[in-house]
Amino acid sequence: MPQTLPNRSLNWPILWDGVVEIAQSESCRLHAYQDVVGVWTIGWGQTLYVSKGMVWTQPKADQDLCDSLTLITRQVKECLVTLVSPHQLAAMVSLAYNIGMGWEGAKKPKGAKDGFRQSSVLKAHNRGDHAAAARAFALWNKAGGEVIPGLVNRRARESALYLTPGDLARAYWPHEAAPATPDGDGERPLTESPTFRSGAISAATGGLALASSVSNDVQQTAWNLGINPLMVVGVVALVVGAVVVFRRYQQRRGGWA
């Protein structure tokens, strides 16, 4: 009996929410079958090199899905030129897995089918119009020239995944590794941040260097006022370090790691 969800412990390239959407939309069959338009399919919707009579094991089907999503995620990210959140990426990968990546280049090859590269979803996302991108998912609701209720529902779920509230704070550039997800180890305390630590140390060091360069006249004035010049050094270092720490705190609150 095929599983309802693939093995979660595999190295999935997108949020688990996206994997669940794809898996539940595709379902898993370990014996080759023909889909609604007659294409031989197996596993979690795999159609490449599938033929009648083919049989898979569950681990093979799960690994095939993971490998396919890893490839498609890389291809989707190569198409993006603007910030993308983990949920946006997962939604677009789900769409691309279902409709294909489409053709490459400036001119459409003869007989080629449109796919994610030609989609309004991609075009709207790349110009920063997320509302339009979310609406554009609904355009991909046909198979064999006919509107399929299952595709209508799937596109609505993908659109909702794309628009997940609050996720834009975790946006990152497509060429960067995705930030940690709720399925990972979670966010480390601010004091454990390497940037925080190195910034504080650098700030303190810089403050000391700055204070130590105070002129002899200023040092003499400090003595005349009954102030130890070393206290001036300490105050400068403390102030500079506090500024760096505060800025790091602001970055963390803004969602930047």
Per-position pLDDT tens, the chain of length 257: 778 999 999 999 999 999 999 999 999 999 999 998 899 999 999 999 999 999 999 999 999 999 999 999 999 999 999 999 999 999 999 999 999 999 998 899 999 999 999 999 999 999 999 999 999 999 999 988 899 999 999 999 999 999 998 777 788 888 887 665 554 333 334 444 443 444 443 444 344 344 444 445 545 555 566 655 545 445 444 444 454 444 444 433 433 33
From the candidate CATH numbers 3.40.50.1980, 1.10.530.40, 1.10.8.60, 2.60.40.2470, the one assigned to the domain spanning 16-170: 1.10.530.40
* Start-end of CATH 1.10.530.40 domains in the chain: 16-170
Write the burial class of residue 70 (CB in 10 Å: 0-12 exposed, 13-18 middle, 19+ buried): middle
Predicted pLDDT of residue 175 = 83
- Nearest C-alpha neighbor of 114 from the set 123, 105, 126, 101: 101
Q: Tell me if residue 165 falls in helix, strand or coil.
A: coil
Contact between 120 and 8 under an 8 Å Cβ cutoff? The reply is no
Q: Look up residue 49 and give its amino acid.
A: Y
Q: Which residues are the active-site residues?
A: 26
Contact between 83 and 175 under an 8 Å Cβ cutoff? The reply is no
Predicted pLDDT of residue 36 = 84
How many angstroms separate the Cα of 227 from the Cα of each of 77, 202, 212, 239, 243? Answer: 59, 26, 15, 18, 24
